[in-house]
Amino acid sequence: MSGSYRMCGCFTRKFKVTKAGPPPDVMEAFHKFTDGGTHMSAEQLWRYLVEVQGDGGASISDAQKIVEQVLQQMHHIAKFTRHTLTLDDFHHYLFSADLNPPIGDQVHQDMTKPLSHYFIYTGHNSYLTGNQLSSNCSDVPIINSLKRGVRVIELDIWPNSTKDDVDVLHGRTLTSPVELIKCLKSIKEYAFSSSPYPVIITLEDHLTPGLQFKVAKMITETFGDMLFCPECECLEEFPSPEELKYRIIISTKPPKEYLKAKSGQSKGNKSQKDKDSDDDTWGKEPSDLMSDQEDGDTSDTDSSEDSESETQQLGVSAYKRLIAIHAGKPKGGLKEALKVDPHKVRRLSLSEQALEKATENRGTDLIRFTQKNVLRVYPKGTRFTSSNYKPLVGWTHGAQMVAFNMQGYGRALWLMHGMFRSNGRCGFVKKPDFLMNAGPHGEVFNHKTKLPVKKTLKVKVYMGDGWHLDFKKTHFDSYSPPDFYTRVGIAGVPSDVIMKRTKTIEDNWTPVWGEEFIFQLTVPELALLRIEVHEYDMSEKDDFAGQTCLPVSELRPGIRAVPLFDRKGEKLNSVRLLMHFEFV
C-alpha cells in the first residue's frame, strides 16, 4: 500500500487517468519552428529535426513520412486532407518510442577489425532454464539468447548415461540433460535471426576421444559450409566480424592439450597445483571448483588407454580441425598466461574473482593481452541462482567475452542489455580506441589514474506514460493512482558512477517531473545511462515500474521517447518516458 493511501470510515477507489499535456519545452519548440502558428509543416519539422534533434541526415521527405505516420496514428486519416501537425500531434510524435527512439537501430561501427577489437554479447551455461543446480537443460534459452542478439553460446558437453552419445548439462549438479544434437540444430536455425555476424560456440568438453570424434561429425554435418575452419592450426590474427558474417565458430581447448596434461599422471595422484594449471581456476573458491570447471576440464575422464588407438587419434584430429579459437593457457600462472605470442592468438578464461584479483596488479597486462587475444570472464560457481556480476570490470580491461547467465535478471543483466543495444543490436560493439592503443613506451589505459572530464551529459526527465495500459489498476496501489519517481544515473568506470532521483509525483498515472540532471563523464565511451522508475510505498519496499540502460555514446540528442523494460529485460508495451539529452 502506497503513501498516498489515507485511512477513513469508508473506502473509495480513485483510478482516474488524467492526460498530461505537452511539457513547456515541447510547446516552446513548436511555437519557435511554426513562427507562432498552430500547425507545423513537414519543412518546419525537418528544420526541427536537423537543428534540435541533431539529425543532420534527415531529409524533407523523411519529415513528410513522419507527418503521415503521425496523422495515421492520431486521426486514422487514410486520404490526407492536411499535411501538417498540431501541437498535440507534434507531442505525440516526440513521445512515440517507435518514431522517436533514444538510440539508432543501424550497425554503424567499423566491422572490419579482428574479433579481439570488439566486445561480444556472451552467454554462460546457455542451455540452463533457471538456477545452476537443479533447473532443466533445454535448447529454448539458447533460442531466446540468439533472438536477443547474443553471439557466444556456451555448451557443457558430457557423455550420456550409456556413454555412446553426447548430452549438454551442468556437470556434478541435478540439472537434467538435453541432447547436443538438438542444441546444435537450434543454433543453426536461429543463429542469424537477429544479426548477420558470427556465432561462437564455446565448448566445455568432458568427453573421451571417441565421443569427440562423434561431436566433430555432428558439428560438421549440422553446420556444413556455415562452419568456419581455419586453414592453419593456429591463427596469427583473428578474422573480422565482417569476414565471418553468417559463420559458426567453435572455441574450446584443443584435445592435444588434454592428452598432454594427462600423460604420465593418473587421475588420483594429481596435486591441487597440477589441477589448477590444467584448468582456468585462478582465484576460485572450493565451490567454484565443484560446479564451474571451465574450458575443457577432463579430470573425470581417464582416456589414456583409449587414446592409444589409431581410430581415436583420427577422431581427435577431426575434432581439433574444427577449433578456430583455441582456448587454454600455458603453465606457470597468470603472468605467463597473459604473455602475448606474436605468432598465435588464443582465448583465456578467468572467473570473476580471478579477474578482480588480476586487475589489482596486472590491469595493464590484461589490456595488452586483450588487444590481440580474447579474454572470457565467467560467473563464480556460488551464483547458484544464476545471478550475475559487474560487467564493467571486464569491459574496462578489454575483456571481449563477459559471460552472463542470460536467463537470470537484475541490475547487472540490465547493464549487459544496455551495452549491446549499441551498434544496431548486432552483438558486436567496437572497443574504444584507448583500449586498443599503446603509448610510445608501451603504456596502456589505466582507469585508476585521475582522468579529466571528457564530456558533460545533461538529462531532463519530462514525464512518463503508459502504466495504466500495461498494469492492472490495483497493481501499485489498492485505492488510488500510483506515486512514481525516476532514478537516473551512470554506470561506468568508478569515477563516473552515480545515481540521482526525481521527486515523487503522488496519485498520478501520467507523472510530470520536469527535472534536469548533469553528469560529468571521464570515460563516456564506457558509460551507460541507467534509468529506473519506482512507485513509492511508505510502509513496504517500493514497487518496480520499469527500467532501461542506454549506451551514452549512442544517445541521440534532443527530446526523445525512452521505452522501458521489465525486470527480465522484456519491453513493456506502452510504458515510456519523455526525456531530453544534451552534450555540453
Name the residue with cell 511554426: 34
Inter-residue contact 428 to 147 (CB < 8 Å):
no
For residue range 78-90, list pLDDT tens digits in order: 666 778 999 999 9
pLDDT, residue 233, reads: 82
Q: Respond yes or no: is residue 326 known to be catalytic.
A: no
For residue range 283-301, list pLDDT tens digits in order: 443 334 333 445 544 444 4
* Three-state SS letters, 55-81: CCCCCHHHHHHHHHHHHHHHHCCCCCC
Q: Respond yes or no: is residue 124 known to be catalytic.
A: yes
pLDDT, residue 453, reads: 97
**With left for phi above 0 and alpha for psi between -120 and 50, is residue 172 left, alpha or beta?**
left
Mean pLDDT of all residues in 472-480? 92
Mean pLDDT of all residues in 267-275? 36
pLDDT, residue 281, reads: 42
pLDDT, residue 301, reads: 47
Beta-carbon count within 10 A of 309 CB: 12
360: exposed, middle or buried (C-beta count within 10 Å: 0-12, 13-18, 19+)? exposed
The mean pLDDT of the chain is 89
Is residue 2 scored above 80 in pLDDT? no
Annotated catalytic residue, options 91, 92, 117, 170? 170
Concatenated DSSP letters of 491-555: ESSGGG-EEEEPPPBPS-SS-EEEEEEEEEES-GGG-EEEEEEEE--SSSPPEEEEEEEEEGGGP
Domains of the chain, start order: 116-436 (3.20.20.190), 455-583 (2.60.40.150)
Annotated catalytic residue, options 91, 117, 124, 468? 124
